[in-house]
Structure 1
Amino acid sequence: MSAPTQTLDERTLLDRVQAPAGEGREILDAATREVFGRAPVHTVADLDAAVAAARAAQPGWAALGHERRSALLHRAADAVEAQAEPLARLLSREQGKPLNGPNARFELGACATWLRTAADTPLEPEVLVDDETGHAELVYRPVGVVGAIGPWNWPLMIGIWQIAPSLRMGNTVVVKPSEHTPLSVLAMVAVLNDVLPDGVLTAVSGEREVGAGLAAHPDVDKIMFTGSTATGRKIIESSAGNLARLTLELGGNDAGIVLPDADPQAIAQDLFWGAFINTGQTCAALKRLYVHDSIHDDVVAALAEIAEATPMGRGLDEDSVLGPLQNAQQYDIVRRLVDDAKARGGRVVTGGEPAPELGELFYRTTIVTDVTDGVPLVDSEQFGPALPVIRYTDVDDAVASANRLDAGLGASVWSSDRDEARRVAARLEAGTVWINQHGGLHPMVPFGGVKGSGYGLEFGVEGLKSVAVPQVISG
């Protein structure tokens, strides 16, 4: 390891991690669809070597102790901050999210914050019994080697959510980035490894068989995965052979309920960004909105006004705050769901069509109303810039609608009466229920899903416990 030096430019950082000319797999700029880099294509043999190196490095890393590991995590955060701009530009090109707004630069800031929080969060032994009968306490030990399988929507931030607590607790980590966004993750890992000891953190960039191999690897003790519910189920099956521990943050179809006493103008901005952060490509984004009939039209109009005023464009354009869909498969899903909703009588208030003048994978920010439960745009996770707004008259019906799907990552309640909002929130089946906001995360507040949205907690003390093995010392 070596100390981080001066800030690199984007090309220098990219050249540190991409495959040599003529090798690897082409990676396209999400906005322009031009080739801008080549990702290494690692093999299962490369994965085996990475896991072996992690296994060999883990005892020494654990032996450093919490204080020394925490100091190194702070240095890692310094390194990320030093390279934040080239990392953000690389992320913007690969993922599509703009530099500004709650996007690429924001994501790099979150990476540093979560690294520092993981370093500074205390996890003290818990005294269970201390009396005339004896003494017993609960402590947490490293689990060993952690396999971190990341998504393409927030590849750096979610990567740090997996890496930072694992390292803090004395584990070593093997990272498998999404095939869609490997270069930005490889670059971030390279920056972190300017600080960390050899073998402690390794990234393996390969195709699906590498991810499957990591989930099933006999020398991996813990798997952390963020992605679709379907893939999560496969990981559960793959991990059964070695009984690897699991943290799974899976698909969501978050519902929001706007109560009749809410002020449409007061909540409109937060509603909009709850739904459209990262152009809707966020697991815990607001994906279906139930609005009381008495204020339905006012809420819809306020959302449409914001949508039409919010600039969409290429990520490296400093004026953009919404970008393209990251990949053609996701673009096709959004387009199909909106077209289907229109065919079923849904009314497009704004958007509802591609934006070809911006680029191949741009879809206009879309608000659709006059739809009901059962319409695929409501029942399926669209994961893009399209929000269905459903009218209701009875709050019990809205709660039933919110709970009817096999998804339970997040939900929200919007009201001028916080006590009433809390009463409704308590009835919703979701890992997190926000009041008058949606999707806001705090590094000390646990986050995780229920039902088909997965299990296990991340962040704060509970997040540290999830990447450790509990041990009772009694006597």
Structure 2
Amino acid sequence: MTNEKWLEEITGRVSTDAPEREPITVTAPATDEPIGQIPRCTDDDVAAAVSRAQAAQSEWIEFDPAERAAILEDFGDLVLERREELLDLVQLETGKARAHAVEELLDVPTTCSYYASRAESILADQTRDGAFPLATDATVTKKPVGVVGVISPWNYPLTLSITDAVPALLAGNAVVLKPDEKTPFIALALAELLAKAGLPDGVFEVVTGDGSVVGPALVDRVDYVAFTGSTETGRAVAERAGRNLIDCSLELGGKNPMIVLANANFEEAARGAVQGCFTNAGQLCLAAERLYVESAIYERFLDAFVGETRRLSLGTEVGYGSDVGSLIDDAQLERVEEHVDDAVGRGASVLTGGRARPDVGPFVYEPTILTDVDPDARVAQEETFGPVVTVTPVDGPRAAIEAANDSDYGLNASVWTGDRERGRRLAQEIEAGTVCVNDAYIAGWAATDAPMGGVGDSGLGRRHGPEGIERYLESKTIASSRIGSLAPPSGVPATWTTRSLLAATNVRRRLSRWL
């Protein structure tokens, strides 16, 4: 099937009853030319999609957790089987290098298998201590929240459009997905594969359109929101969710630090920095944008880092030919250029990069290393979200930790050292949701059993791990008494009742210490 035919087919997965909706044209970053069109969904379209999801969820919840897990495992298998087509589509929509597209593709079947293998145990009823030992008991049951709204970004459209949905579906929820309008087709392709895997109609709906219209309409109607995107938009989502008294999880921006200690293998750290700073042309929430290097190895590290960076090849072709691809659009390119120009205007030095490459692609920018950066420069304070990093010498570990924590963000960080245990101790002091030791981000991101998320302006809640599915569940306590009503018998003096309750409380406290 040709790309054009496939795009036309999957566009039919958009949840709208009015195909004549005003279209949005999607363009390829590699060429700035149109790929295709999607409907500009309205408030009514969102309402209809959520209504269908609600109806479907009432049947989906009756599926045994093992049945739901089997469908999601089959979906993971289909993602691997159709990997070449999916990778082509990711490169077409994002302009990223294919090796970086592979990273996000592999995350999908891994996430499916992780939650499929654990769904039954996580969803099982749990026995808890009753109010009075032997006389009462308590059981906690977990039920899906209902319909989950997922709002996904453009930078990792394959994994981030679906891996938040997988645990929600396994928990028995329906999902309505709003992908970014820059990268909708990969989400629609995944919706098609979910249907092929056996997911019932209506359980996974996709609405496309302007974020300013579809986003609020979705938050106003669903029972939970999982959002990945900018801190500014995340605040608006959280505020709206709060007004609706629904919960949300938010993975937002980052200004992630990387610390290189004097006892680190500086060549290995330099290779790690290249990966951590320039994967997906720096358009990665986990990317390192601030490097702090102990003075004793600063010059050697810098030479190695610059050398590794200059060896990176730029390109926008489909395939494995290039190391670094394109930025997503002209707005992102403009942001990167403004950050670099501002830093240079304040006295920063450009050791490599520092310029756009229209000869390679309309939005390609060279991997850039800056030193001598003014602390008040935009590139030092704001998330750049591009292939730009600042490198600063520090006097020692304490100075590095203080510099790393001098930020409102707290998503990801890394520590490079020849003493891994020391690195783990320092990691405890860094204010971030994830800290990797001797790795840039993959060791943390790929640890699917461990929660991933941010602190401060980097967000709320966690994906991955048991926490990643528990956020989509409501807990209910069912407590019972083996001796009937615990109310005091009629006519018993209050003083006697008080003495009995005090005695029971003391017994309970003693038992809790022994058990």
TM-score bucket of the superposed structures, by smaller chain: over 0.9
Deviations 1:73-118 (A, max 9, x none): 112112222322112111111111122x2x2233222212212222
- Pick aligned residue for 2:184 from 171, 182, 185: 182
Change (3 A) 1:321 1:449: same
Change (3 A) 1:247 1:21: closer
The residue that corresponds to 2:461 in the other structure is 456
Runs of at least 5 residues in structure 1 that lack an aligned partner in the other structure:
1-7
Deviation at 1:215, TM superposition (A): 4.4
The answer to whether the Cα contact below 8 Å between 1:16 and 1:187 also exists between their aligned partners in 2 is: no
Q: Please list, as runs of the form range in 1=range in 2, the aligned pairs for 1:30-429 lying within 5 A after superposition.
A: 30-99=29-98, 101=99, 103-121=100-118, 122-123=121-122, 124-129=124-129, 131-194=133-196, 195-217=198-220, 219-429=221-431
Consecutive unaligned residues in structure 2, runs of 5 or more: 13-18, 481-515
Cα deviation for residue 357 of structure 1 reads 1.0
Distance 2:209 2:188 in 1: 11
Aligned to 1:5: none
Answer whether contact 1:114 1:160 (CA < 8 A) is retained: no
CA contact (8 A) 2:347 2:374 kept: no
Question: Which aligned segments of 4 or more residues in structure 1 are displaced greater than 4 angstroms?
Answer: 19-23
Q: Distance in 2 between matches of 1:283 and 1:472?
A: 38
Cα 1:470–1:328, aligned 2, differ >3 Å: closer, same or farther?
Answer: same
1:231: Cα distance to partner? 0.3
Q: Is the 8 A contact 1:256 1:413 kept in 2?
A: yes
Query: Does the 8 Å CA contact 1:85/1:105 hold for their aligned counterparts?
Result: no
Which has the higher mean CA deviation after the structures are superposed, 77-86 or 271-280?
77-86
What is the CA deviation profile of residues 171-211 of structure 1, one whole-angstrom value per residue up to 9, with x for unaligned ones? 00000001111122122212212221010000000112333
Q: Name the CA shift for 1:89/1:448 in 2 (closer, same or farther; >3 Å).
A: same
CA distance in 1, matches of 2:416, 2:97: 28
| CA gap 1:373/1:140 in 2 versus in 1, 3 angstroms | farther
Q: Which has the larger radius of gyration?
A: 2
The answer as to whether partners of 1:129 and 1:136 remain within 8 angstroms in 2 is yes
| CA displacement at 1:59 relative to structure 2 | 1.4
Kindly indicate whether the alpha-carbon contact (under 8 Å) linking 1:274 and 1:286 is maintained by their aligned counterparts in 2. yes
1:312 deviates by: 1.4
CA distance in 2, matches of 1:433, 1:401: 15
Residues 313 and 22 of structure 1: CA distance in aligned 2, closer, same or farther (over 3 Å): farther
Q: Decide whether the 8 Å contact of 2:151 with 2:215 is kept in 1.
A: no
Change (3 A) 1:438 1:127: farther
Which residue number corresponds to residue 4 of structure 1? none
Alignment deviations for residues 324-368 of structure 1 (CA, whole Å, 9 cap, x no partner)? 101111111111111111111111111011112101100001111
Q: TM-score, normalised by structure 1?
A: 0.94
Please give the alpha-carbon distance, in whole angstroms, between the structure 1 residues aligned to 2:455 and 2:337: 28
Q: Is the 8 A contact 1:212 1:238 kept in 2?
A: no
Contact 2:450 2:465 in 1 (8 A): yes
TM-align CA RMSD: 1.8
Deviation digits for residues 139-183 of structure 1 (CA, Å, limit 9, x no counterpart): 321010000000000011011221100000000000000111112
The 1:133–1:378 alpha-carbon spacing in structure 2 relative to 1, beyond 3 Å, is farther
Tell me if the contact between 1:348 and 1:369 (Cα under 8 Å) persists in the aligned partners. Answer: yes
Q: Is the 8 A contact 1:149 1:211 kept in 2?
A: no
Quote the Cα distance in structure 2 between the aligned partners of 1:105 and 1:271.
Answer: 19
> Which AA in structure 2 matches 1:24?
P
What secondary structure sits across from 2:150 in the alignment? strand
Q: Distance in 2 between matches of 1:469 and 1:270?
A: 41
User: Quick one: distance in 2 between partners of 1:185 and 1:90?
Assistant: 10
Q: Is the 8 A contact 2:41 2:214 kept in 1?
A: no
CA distance in 2, matches of 1:238, 1:211: 13
CA separation of 1:437 and 1:322: change in aligned 2, threshold 3 A:
same
Correspondent of 2:451 among 428, 441, 446: 446
Residues 21 and 41 in structure 2, CA contact (< 8 A), matched pair in contact too? no
Whole-angstrom distance in 1 between the partners of 2:230 and 2:430: 22
How far did residue 313 of structure 1 move?
0.4
Name the SS of the counterpart of 1:85 in structure 2.
Answer: helix
Counterparts of 2:428 and 2:218 in 1: how far apart (Å)? 35
| Aligned length, in residue pairs | 465
Residue 275 of structure 1 contacts residue 387 of structure 1 at CA under 8 Å; is this kept in 2?
yes
Q: Any idea what SS the aligned residue of 1:138 has? A: strand
1:41 to partner: Cα distance: 1.6
Please say which of residues 129-138 and 254-263 is displaced more in the overlay.
Answer: 129-138
Distance 1:270 1:21 in 2: 49
Partner of 1:18: 11
Q: Would you say the 8 A contact 2:53–2:176 is kept in 1?
A: yes
CA contact (8 A) 2:21 2:40 kept: no
Structure 2 SS opposite 1:155: coil
Which piece of structure 1 moves more, 17-26 or 128-137?
A: 17-26
Q: Secondary structure at the match of 2:129?
A: strand
How many Å apart are 1:387 and its aligned residue?
0.9
CA shift, 1:431, in A, is: 0.6
CA shift at 1:264, angstroms?
A: 0.6
Q: Residue 105 of structure 1: SS of its match in structure 2?
A: helix
Given that residues 9 and 86 in structure 1 are in contact (C-alpha distance below 8 angstroms), is that contact kept between their aligned partners in structure 2? no
Contact persistence 2:280–2:324 (CA under 8 A)? yes
Which amino acid counterpart does residue 49 of structure 1 have in structure 2?
A
Contact 1:24–1:38 (CA<8 Å) still a contact in 2? yes
Deviations 1:222-259 (A, max 9, x none): 00000011001111122233211100101111111111
Which residue in the other structure is 1:3 paired with?
none
Which amino acid is the alignment partner of residue 355 of structure 1? R
Distance 2:62 2:31 in 1: 48
Between the aligned residues of both structures, percent identity stands at 36
Distance 1:237 1:251 in 2: 17
CA distance in 2, matches of 1:22, 1:93: 24
Report the secondary structure of 2:149's partner residue.
strand
SS across alignment from 2:281 = helix
The range that moved more, 184-193 or 290-299, is: 184-193
Question: 1:47–1:210: 8 Å Cα contact kept in structure 2?
Answer: no
